[in-house]
Copies of this chain bind each other. A is one copy, B any other.
């Protein structure tokens, strides 16, 4: 029978201290109640008619990233893929939760991970409000919550025949970086393709600007062909794309056409937005691209029917990779949804 134990000792060292040291940044600014209770408490969106947009992505070591990944880049990317989903909905980021399984409690690794995570979170005013830390094979699951006026949400099922099909940025760089690693061809550390793979930039400002101008939208995580397929299926529509209108990353310039097609249409991890809009909004959309400094390209048209046609410069069809990346069909580490 020993003396009673002072209560605060229960939180010394280990899991609780780990969470506190790396992830608890004090009283919440956006939530009614942040980290440290059974739940966080989030006030409803401030504007009438707004709803919460909720998305979850899980990144697994060896599947979505290499085990030796730079932890700061991983912290960035784990949140970026979720903010990209909010952007594709036209939602303003509000808060997120983080569940992380770690093989060991490595303070330096966690420092760098938290630095990458919070740098991106702070830029978008998105606050960590809760989480769970456990030991296990490295895996990260983030749930992000944003707000959007219900009628302005950019849904996958809203494309209409006659809509222009738009794309932000350029495609293929991240898939090119993965391909090079698979082939054992090291890229120089400052190759922009590596930055596109490791630190994708979620198109949050674009998603917000497209409210009321775009109809349907999706973010490109699994490749243009597969992700566009989701929009077409849910909108019960088809599409025709002019391949030469798709901006392709400079890293791919010297590749044969077939490889450029494969990486641009079937490669993943681009995290650009693909969206549709009525042709009368074309000028406004071009102006949005100018204002936020992000090139926007009109790459095709939504059609009646259900087929996706990609045409070359002479109007001849180009073979389309059949599907997006499938996590149960093998392949190298790639990011998801």
Contact = CB atoms under 8 A, between A and B. Distances in A.
Contact of A238 (B7, B38, B57, B139): B7
A218 B61 CA distance: 33
A326 B18 CA distance: 11
A234 interface: yes
A143 B143 contact: yes
A85 to B, nearest CB: 4
A215 to B, nearest CB: 13
A41 B62 contact: no
Contact of A135 (B91, B136, B327): B327
A197 interface: no
Contacts of A137: 60, 136-137, 139
Interface string A124-149: 00000111111111010101011010
Interface stretch (A165-173, A178-186, A313-321): A313-321
A139 to B, nearest CB: 5
Nearest to A59: B134
A61 B60 CA distance: 14
Contacts of A153: 33, 41
A191 interface: no
B38 A88 contact: yes
A219 interface: yes
A230 B12 CA distance: 11
Given A51-B43, A99-B58, A134-B64, A322 B33 contact: no
Please give the count of copies of this chain that the complex contains: 2
A153 to B, nearest CB: 6
Interface of chain A, helix or strand or loop or mixed? mixed
Interface in A37-87: 37-45, 50-58, 60-64, 85-86
A326 B38 CA distance: 17
Contacts of A141: 56, 58, 99, 132, 139, 141
Given A225-B10, A233-B11, A307-B7, A1 B316 contact: yes
A302 to B, nearest CB: 11
B56 A136 contact: no
Contact of A129 (B32, B54, B323): B54
Interface string A88-108: 110100010111110011000
Contacts of A244: none
A306 interface: yes
A1 B328 contact: no
Given A60-B134, A139-B137, A310 B4 contact: yes
Question: Which of A37, A39, A99, A310 has the most chain B CB atoms closer than 10 A to its own CB?
Answer: A39
5 contacts: A1-B317, A7-B232, A11-B323, A15-B328, A63-B134
